[in-house]
Structure 1
Amino acid sequence: MNRNYLLNDAIISPLGFTTSENLTSIRNSETALKLHRNSRYFKEGYYAGLIDLDWINSKFSRIGNPGKYTKLEKLIILAIKQVIDPSQNFSTRSSGLVLSTTKGNIDLLNNNDFSADRIYLWKMAQVIADFFELKQKPVVVSNACISGALAIKTANDFIESGRFKNAVVAGGDLVSDFVLSGFQSFQAISSKPCRPFSNDREGVSLGEAAAAIFIDQEQSAVGESVHYIDAVTANDANHISGPSRTGEGLYQSISRLFNNSGVDPSKVDYISAHGTATNFNDEMESISFNRAELNYVPVNSFKGYYGHTLGASALLETILTKKCLLNNELLASHNFTESGVSVNLNIIREHKRKELRTALKTASGFGGCNLAMLLQKQSL
């Protein structure tokens, strides 16, 4: 298997318009989660990370007509443009686009000023591809909350098979009434900013974001690069919304990943967990890490900074994991207080420097889906 490289990247969120701006905000322990009162589902308001539409339109007006695109399309297009502009290997003819989202333009259910088919995921992907005049048909990955990481795996598989020379992976989701009401129906929304793995956690917070990354077979010309080693998915077949109580699905993903890649678990320096701050997810992940004998490895969740950004989350968090490897830094798991899971984990409590080479990224989602991915830093 060829190991492709994770190169140019972009994160657009309430914490910043670029990856660099987002990292600066995280290092300053800032959070996107603010109290909002504009929802019919939460009389006292709810905490979420929302991106101002006027801010998006101001940025987008420099490259196109904001009125022709939905809020989510504009966010994803802006992220992709940051990724392809500096790339010498990007080609409108041979480069692929893999798009990750869970709900896409679902907000058009309430107010649709566009054609009726714009709500379909394939249509949204084609609109984005057409903006950049891509010749290859875009690929949509929508598999609950592992979508962002699964899109990275899909892009690597297509490059490996020769379908794409290289690929842009992009993803995004919005905090719509549809999404809010769905999570509230599970009584999963926290009344305060989420606290992953903490004993005082109350549930998930939601967030908006778009992210993109360029994946190529050629390494960056200078310095160090991070390459994708492999990723493995497994379904625990437990419940439509609840993960396996034994962590079986995620454990299978992790153990098969190590077996397939030949990487020894003892070589993992850092874990970026899914960490939604729900009782079932946090407990399941902690059990899985313990079963895989990884509970001593420094681990964090980025949900305290962004909330759960759904189809963007695993992609956004992979980009941050890549930056952690390159910068030799461990970023604190924001809002963590004291452990609220049955198995001890090495939760990162404060930002610190540490020599890093290999990282594990995990993600889990509704329907029992689980994914584990290995990334590794490599010098020229």
Structure 2
Amino acid sequence: MYKIYLSHNSIISSLGFNSETVVDNIKNEVSGISLIDDKTLYHNQFYGAMVDRNLLNKKFNAFQTEEVFTTLEKLMILSLMDVIVASKIKINASVGLIISTTKGNIDALDKKSKFPQSYAYLSRLGKALKTHFLFKTEPVIVSNACVSGILAISVAKRLIKEKMYKHVFIVSGDLVSNFVLSGFSSFQALSDLPCQPFSISRNGINLGEAISSILVTSNTNYLTKESVEILGDATCNDANHISGPSRSGEGLFRSVNAAIKEAEIKPQDIDYISAHGTSTVFNDEMEAIAFNRLGLQSVPLNSLKGYFGHTLGSSGLVETIVGMHSLNLNTLFFSKGFISLGVSKPLQIIDKTTYKKLDIFLKTSSGFGGANTALLLKSVS
């Protein structure tokens, strides 16, 4: 059997500038969400999680070249560099690059931006990262709303199985911007408090920034202590609504079912679920219905949105990485913000960080336009 693995990884967020620091903060139930009052960004105060710009520039300037990069590009370069250096893989024609994002350099459209509006094209990210790291092949841009992070893993898996590449690096990220804040505000989806996924008092999302990178490979020589094998993955679009999820959870139900079938496991083999858990009324209810239809209502489940908010196109990848560390540590992380169950179907929400022997976990994501993606991963340690 041709096995594909997730290996070296990096997270940059309000909780730290590497995966270990971020995971340690999550293990200690520390949230990176705070009340932000920045009139240059948004006209009202809002709860969110943003990367420290001063620290970003300090770290980036340590090796700055004459090239000029946007904030998102700097974050992606820092994150991806950590993974490339740690893996010791030489960039050649057998190494691919996937960039996962929802909005890319959308802040270039702001009239105050020092960058031309053409930087808002997603191809700009591809060009900037390819040139900086001297990739030999054209990057693949994955932009499918909030499932982009997991979908990028699915794409990388297929590229390796088709022997187009031996290794694929993925970097994923989005920024908290006026464009994004205004958009979610127009949906009345922003919470006026730190978010509370799956809780009865939940009233919307917090937006956040978490740029993440990972190595996808079939070569066991490049595995780390938290590496996992991809057992199965699937994507299903229920085409329910431009922004609202299916009320029956049909798309998520089908994607998880398909991933389980490919993995050749049973629902009871799943030790832990890392849900999308945006903290909106409709998303959390949809997931609860889907998980109950799948017979997964008793599996320990959390949402990580209470730690760094909804990070859009990066959410699936960053939460996958945290899940990988969860398996390695045999630790179920507290679903930050959860108080009391507020969905119509039973779920086993993780209400306290606890030790438990873990082997297989399910990561799910859902997004605008009816997109739903599922990923099953197994520890190799």
Superposition TM-score, scaled by structure 2 size: 0.96
Q: What letter is aligned with 2:6?
A: L
Please list, as runs of the form range in 1=range in 2, the aligned pairs for 1:70-149 lying within 5 A after superposition: 70-110=70-110, 111-149=112-150
Of 346, 357, 360, 2:359 maps to 357
Q: Matched residue pairs, number?
A: 379
SS at match of 1:200: coil
What letter corresponds to residue 193 of structure 2 in structure 1?
K
The one-letter amino acid of 1:193's match is P
Identity %: 45
Give the CA deviation at 1:66.
8.1
Distance 2:273 2:147 in 1: 16
**Secondary structure in 1 aligned to 2:115?**
coil
Amino acid at match of 1:341: V
Gaps of 5+ in 2: none
Query: Cα–Cα, structure 1 residues 174 and 113, in superposed 2: closer, same or farther, change >3 Å?
Result: same
Amino acid at match of 1:156: K
Residues 7, 224 of structure 2: 8 Å contact kept: no
Look up the equivalent residue of 1:218 and give its one-letter code: N
- Which range is displaced more, 112-121 or 183-192? 112-121
| Gap regions ≥5 residues in structure 1 | none
**CA contact 1:100–1:142 (8 Å) conserved in 2:** yes
How far 1:27 moved relative to its partner? 1.8
2:321 to 316, 319, 322: 319
Contact residue 8 and residue 223 of structure 2 kept, 8 A = no
Match of 1:186? 187
Say which SS state the counterpart of residue 10 (structure 2) adopts: strand
* Contact kept? 1:95, 1:166, Cα under 8 Å: yes
Q: Which residue of 2 aligns with 1:38?
A: 38
SS at match of 1:189: coil
1:235 alignment counterpart: 237
RMSD of Structure 2 on Structure 1 (CA): 1.6
Q: How does 1:193-208 map to 2 (within 5 A)?
A: 193-208=194-209
The answer to whether structure 1 residue 56 and structure 2 residue 56 are counterparts is yes
**Contact 1:60 / 1:66 at 8 angstroms: preserved in 2?**
no
Kept in 2, the 8 Å contact 1:73–1:128? The answer is yes
What's the CA shift for 1:96? Answer: 0.6
Once the two structures are superposed, residues 52-86 of structure 1 have per-residue CA deviations (whole angstroms, 9 ceiling, x without a partner) of 22211111112224871000000000000110102
Q: C-alpha separation between the residues in 2 aligned to 1:376 and 1:296?
A: 19
Using the TM superposition, give the Cα deviation of residue 209 of structure 1 relative to its aligned residue in structure 2, in angstroms: 1.6
Higher mean C-alpha deviation, range 50-59 or range 299-308: 50-59
Amino acid at match of 2:325: K
Q: CA deviation at 1:221?
A: 5.9
One-letter amino acid of the structure 2 residue matched with residue 77 of structure 1: I
Structure 2 Cα separation of the partners of residues 130 and 273 of structure 1: 35
**Per-residue deviation, 1:91:** 2.4
1:224 and 1:102, CA in 2 relative to 1: closer, same or farther beyond 3 A?
closer
CA contact (8 A) 2:202 2:279 kept: yes
Match of residue 177 from structure 2: 176
Q: Which moved more, 1:269-278 or 1:153-162?
A: 153-162
Q: Alpha carbons of 1:218 and 1:186: their partners in 2 closer, same or farther (altered >3 Å)?
A: same
Q: Distance in 1 between matches of 2:227 and 2:66?
A: 35
Aligned pair in 2 of structure 1 residues 222, 168: CA closer, same or farther (>3 Å)? Answer: closer
Q: Is the 1:301–1:334 Cα contact (8 Å) retained in structure 2? A: yes
Q: Quick check: 54-63 or 357-366, which moved more?
A: 54-63
